[in-house]
Amino acid sequence: MPVSPYARLVRAVLRTWALVVLAFLYLPIAFLVLFSFEESRTPGLPITGLTLHWYEKMISNGILLGAVWNSILVAVAATTLATIIGTMAAFPLVRGGIRFPNVARILFTLPIMLPGALIGVALLLFFRRVLDAELSFWTVIAGHLVFTTPYIVLIVGARLQGFDRMLEWAAADLGASPARVLRHIVLPLIAPAIMAGALISVTLSIDEFVITFFTVGPQLTLPIYIYTQIKFGVTPEVNAVATVLLVGTMAVLGLSWLMAGQARRISGLIGSRGGAGR
């Protein structure tokens, strides 16, 4: 079927617009990586030269590395707890066993829609005025749980809604216990959703500033460190740290992609066996 000149023009415009949007999304990241190798202390265009000096300074900057390590610890702890809590909460929300499930879904997802400053102030008042607790890592982790858990609930819940329960029933008919069905059937099939939620949780936790600002004690996290350094001018060391975190994130994404592929193969194998059995 011939394509009209108008249709070709529309396609060309849409392709150009897509390239513009992609450039808008990824050019800042590309320049961040480029400026981490810039010789000058005030990076910019044109590039005066390339060096690994800022990576060497990053490695020798104990305060900066401590802030990065603190952010990673908080992110891992918050993600682990959020993944467990969110996955356990998704089952009754999707499969029943809870009164007023629609109200419960709204309550679980509400923290995503609330402003971070509001959540931060509320947590600060709760920890200091109600619990009379000192601000510490634990208060930061608790604060991060508030906004990371809903993502786990939503993502895992969406996977459970599309889950073929015939696989569970077939395994139960063959004598498998509920624990065995959960371990060998359900969890492998929803593992990609759990991993996706965990990755989002880690990313959000490492990046979170507002809630961390209200709940952190004397410790520094990476966003707090960057904020304090803005007063004196951000050095390219921060660009180097961001580049390392970017590479680490890409590595985790690659690993999760491989694991998701393995889970899909397991799902297909179980589904084909189930179909053959029927």
Q: Kindly give the confidence (pLDDT) of every residue in the chain, 278 residues in length, as a single tens digit, with 9 standing for 90 and above.
A: 566 777 778 888 889 999 999 999 888 888 888 888 887 777 767 777 778 888 888 888 888 888 888 998 999 999 999 999 998 888 888 877 677 777 878 888 888 888 888 999 999 999 988 888 888 889 999 999 999 999 898 888 888 877 766 776 777 766 777 777 777 777 777 887 888 888 888 888 888 888 999 998 888 888 888 788 776 666 777 788 888 878 877 877 777 677 656 655 655 655 555 555 45
The domain that contains 163 carries what CATH number?
1.10.3720.10
Structural domain contains residue 213: yes
Burial degree of 260 (CB within 10 A; 0-12, 13-18, 19+): middle
Backbone angles phi, psi at 207, to 5 degrees: -85, -15
* Gap between the Cα atoms of 218 and 269, Å rounded: 52
Residue 210 lies in a domain: yes
- The answer to whether position 142 is within a domain reads yes
DSSP at 50: B
**Exposed, middle or buried, 236 (CB in 10 Å: 0-12/13-18/19+)?**
buried
CB atoms within 10 A of CB 264: 13
Into how many domains does the chain fold?
1
pLDDT attached to residue 206: 85
Helix axes 236-277, 5-35, angle to 10 degrees: 130
Against a cut of 0.95, is the pTM above it?
no
Place of tokens 């707090």: 224
Locus of tokens 């624990």: 179
Q: What pLDDT score does 19 carry?
A: 92
DSSP character at residue 183: I
25 belongs to a structural domain: no
Domain annotation covers residue 205: yes
State the pLDDT at residue 73.
92
- Quote the pLDDT of residue 84: 93
The answer to whether position 8 is within a domain reads no
Alpha carbon 186 to its chain's center: 23
pLDDT score at 78 = 93
Show the CA angle centred on residue 76, arms to residues 91 and 227, nearest 5°.
125
Residue 43 lies inside a defined structural domain of this protein: no
d(CA 115, CA 84): 25
In a domain, 231, yes or no: yes
User: Domain limits at 122?
Assistant: 62-277
pLDDT of the residue at 85: 92
